[in-house]
Amino acid sequence: MRVKNDKYKQDSVVCGEFMGSPHKVYEFDTVVVEDKSGGYVVFVPTLPGCHTQGETIGEALGNAKEAIELYMETLSKEEKTEFLKLKFVGIQRVKAIA
C-alpha cells in the first residue's frame, strides 16, 4: 500500500496488512535514487543489503515493500527486534576531493 506524503511530494511504503493479519504494520524510511541506465533504485537504510529497483518511483516503492516483507521473513524474532530499534536519521551531503 502506498501512502501519499504531501510534505515531500512522494509516497511512503507501509508494510503488512491492516485487517485480518497477525503481523504488525511497520513503516520504513527509504532512499530513492535515479539509475543512470533508467528507472529508480530504492535502498532501505535500516535493513542492510535491502534494496530494489523499478522503472517508475511508484513501481520501485512497491518493489521495496515486497523486498522489506521478504527481508523481515528471514529474521529471527531477536534479529527483527534489533533491526526495528534502528532509526534512520537522514541524508547529509558531504564534499570530498576526488
Give the predicted TM-score (pTM) of the model.
0.73
Helix (H, G, I), strand (E, B) or coil at 51: strand
Rg (Cα) of the chain, in Å, rounded? 15
> Over the stretch 24-67, which tens digit does the pLDDT of each residue have?
888 999 999 999 999 999 999 999 999 999 999 999 999 999 99
Q: Are 33 and 41 in contact (CB under 8 A)?
A: yes
Fold of 2-85: Double Stranded RNA Binding Domain (3.30.160)
Residue 48 exposure: Cα atoms within 13 Å on the Cβ side: 6
